[in-house]
Amino acid sequence: MHWMEVTEESSVLTSFYNAEDESNLLLPKLPALPKNYSTTAKIFSEEKSDEIMKLLGDVRLNALVLGGSSGFIEIYAYGMFKIATVTGVAGSCRGLCLSSDLKSLSVITEIQDSSDSEAEITYFQLDTSLLSSYLPEVTRMARKFTHISTLLQYIKLSLTCMCEAWEEILMQMDSRLTKFVQEKNTTTSVQDEFMQLLLWGKASAELQALLMNQLTVKGLKKLGQSIESSYSSIQKLVISHLQSGSEALLYHLSELKGMALWKQKYESLGLDASGIEEAITAVGSFILKANELLQVIDSSMKNFKAFFRWLYVAMLRMSEDHVLPELNKMTQKDITFVADFLTEHFNEAPELYNRKGKYFNVERVGQYLKDEDDDLVSPPNTEGNQWFNFLKNSTHLKESPLLFPYYPEKSLHFVKRQMEGVIDQCLQKPADVIGRSVHQAVCIPLYKISQSEESTPQLIKLPFLWNDKTSNIHYVLFTIVENSISKIHILRRHTDTSRSVSNGILKVEFGNFLNSINESSESRCYSCLDAHFYDDETVTVVLKESVEQEGKERVLAQLPLSSVYTDEDQDSKFIWDSAERLDERSGEIPTRTVFLENQWRVLENMKAQYVSVNGIRKVSCVLSSNLRHVRVFEMDVEDDGEVEEEEEEETTQIAAGEPEELNQPADSQDNVGGASAEELPDETEEPETSLDP
């Protein structure tokens, strides 16, 4: 993985960065999701809504680059939405870096032809000039993609909250009536049983047993309250959240369509107006389905309220309880309303029993929230609807692109999934087009990984890449083993404004900086265990002597590139054929011997193996070979008072320690990177932080 931020500046980009997002002016703010529903909804809750807005407020383009096996490389704008899918790179990705000007992508891969052959480490440089040439357009497009991606998540979580608001208790009426059909001995239908109760005020023994023993007065009251509460919650979520998110999504897709129609700017990036039009149509269909659900909720709330009020009074009379006068009043209009409800909802449906295991579908809202491909059990009745009749008889409007298609037989979940699929498909095209524009500029075989652990150190994680922010310079760090010594190599590729490219490679050896004047001046060799770029001008390395002796510890050091590249021409004298691996001509690579002076520190009592650095925070973290111990170093301490106190303290410790350590100058152990390396803190070492799982 590699994160990068664009540092390129231009008048077009600056005006875009400074301009206020028009959607903030034209669209209402999305309401926060209620936090009492789901943990997933909490990312859009009151406490978290600012974090989402901060993410969307990051206008300057940054990208996450991912590399995997089989040449798989993807670039995600703002780490959220894919803007490029790169294929055709041989081998498994082991390291990568996208330049901050978006002109090139450097990749290190491990290529293995067969399980028996040795793997080969190869450096590829890919030309991503399309991203660089259309940087303002890519930034605007990525910004829209991020908005759309966030809104899809918001709609998904709104629907999740609606599903949680719908309770299983609402199915109780359906299950009770189904059980009643299975157990009753009479041939009278359930609808007729309730109609007789409505018209004559008398119920059969079976219906009375169902109402008084199974449903009960208390249960009916609880069911009525649950339905009203649940339906009200779902209704609020649809109006305030689902519709708001859908309208915002429609706005951003319409803007994206406008961008796609500007073919001079966006056609090369793969924006397709026809595909976006299909996405807009899919969002319109989703909004229609949400409105249909609102109508069903409104109708169901009225029907259930009237039905339960009548049934509650009837059950009170059966139990010979007192009925309040205000409940006892029932007009002819109320009776007609309940009769229509019984006629429409209490029909036995044997085919429904085969599908759902029940004869009735009195509760109509839950079917819209089921995440399944089946058609609705009770779709809305459109007979007599004047608009539907008008469309049916109009040959011109039937296939009009101005009308959103309507799916009366499908659930809200089904239409939502269909919408997500169409949007993903239309936004996938730019990633494919941009990915196909990426082509290979350079391929350099570096070295082979031997299956023998002795000849190939497993101590360096793999080559690291760095792109200089001030000029078009690309660095690659890697090691090649010579005579059992792992030597660091620096490959530098320089591209000037005329696009001419020069390659240079140097081998770095470290001078005998650990010897004091009292020890033998015999030349010593140091192997590089790990290396990272600390900043644009410095490499942090972990070294060890080739022949380890007791008391000779490993070293954390800072390698300034200025000490390596003293002569501009020296690193370009070595010319190689790209068909040959560098390790095959390692002896011909120019060598630069570097003396680190005071830019190092001995890592006492620790078999250091790996290092990770953060130049911005001026911190290095060293990990031991057994992965059990870690030390953190502050690389640039500005407080001189603290430095002097630590020097005195460590000098005292060294004086009380082993005699052979007295030869090491105390100040040299405290200076890393030209300043004191204050260990943070000493307690980090004492408990020896365990990284074991």
What 227-231 contacts at long range (C-beta under 8 Å, 24+ apart), as own/partner pairs, is: 227/170, 227/300, 227/301, 227/304, 227/308, 227/363, 228/301, 228/304, 228/305, 230/165, 230/166, 230/167, 230/170, 231/297, 231/300, 231/301, 231/365
How far apart are the C-alpha atoms of 435 and 437, rounded to whole Å? 5
Provide the token pair at 145: 């993609």
Task: Give the model's pLDDT for residue 266.
Answer: 92
What is the maximal distance between C-alpha atoms in the chain? Answer: 118
Instruction: Give, rounded to a whole angstrom, the gap between the first and last alpha carbons of the chain.
Output: 23
Nearest to 101 by CA among 465, 434, 501, 472: 472
**With contact defined as beta carbons under 8 Å apart, do 645 and 613 qualify?**
no
Q: What is the mean pLDDT of each run of 10 residues along the chain (693 residues)?
A: 79 66 79 69 53 59 89 88 88 85 86 79 87 89 88 88 76 70 68 82 80 80 84 90 92 94 92 93 94 90 83 81 72 80 72 56 78 78 82 81 85 92 91 92 79 46 52 71 75 62 75 52 70 85 75 81 69 62 76 80 86 87 90 75 49 36 34 44 40 38
Give the number of other Cβ atoms within 10 Å of residue 637's Cβ. 19
Dist. CA 334–CA 314, nearest whole Å: 14
Task: Please report, as a single letter, which amino acid is at residue 132.
Answer: S
Q: What SS3 class is residue 609?
A: strand
- Helix H or strand E encompassing 647: helix 640-655
Determine the Cα–Cα distance for residues 565 and 227; give it in Å rounded to an integer. Answer: 77
**To which residue do tokens 């995997």 refer?**
68
In 239-382, which ranges are continuous DSSP H helix?
243-261, 263-266, 273-318, 325-328, 332-345, 350-356
**Cα–Cα separations (whole angstroms), residue 585 to 536, 578, 582:** 28, 12, 5
Identify whether the C-beta of residue 606 lies closer than 8 Å to the C-beta of residue 553: yes
* Buried b or exposed e, range 572-601, using 16+ CB within 10 angstroms: bebebeeeebbbeebeebeebebebebbbb
Q: Is 297 helix (H, G, I), strand (E, B) or coil?
A: helix
3-state helix, strand, coil split of the chain in percent (to 5) is 45, 20, 35
Which residues touch 188 (CB under 8 Å, ≥6 apart)?
Answer: 196, 204
Q: Radius of gyration of the chain from Cα atoms?
A: 37
Distance of CA 491 to the CA centre of its chain: 33
Question: Could you tell me if residue 91 is left (phi over 0), alpha (psi between -120 and 50 degrees) or otherwise beta?
Answer: left
* pLDDT, position 598: 77
> Which pLDDT score, from 0 to 100, does residue 686 have?
39
Nearest one of 512, 668, 486, 532 to 593, comparing CA atoms:
512
Task: Give the pLDDT of residue 43.
Answer: 56
Q: How far, in Å, CA of 212 to CA of 195, rounded?
A: 18
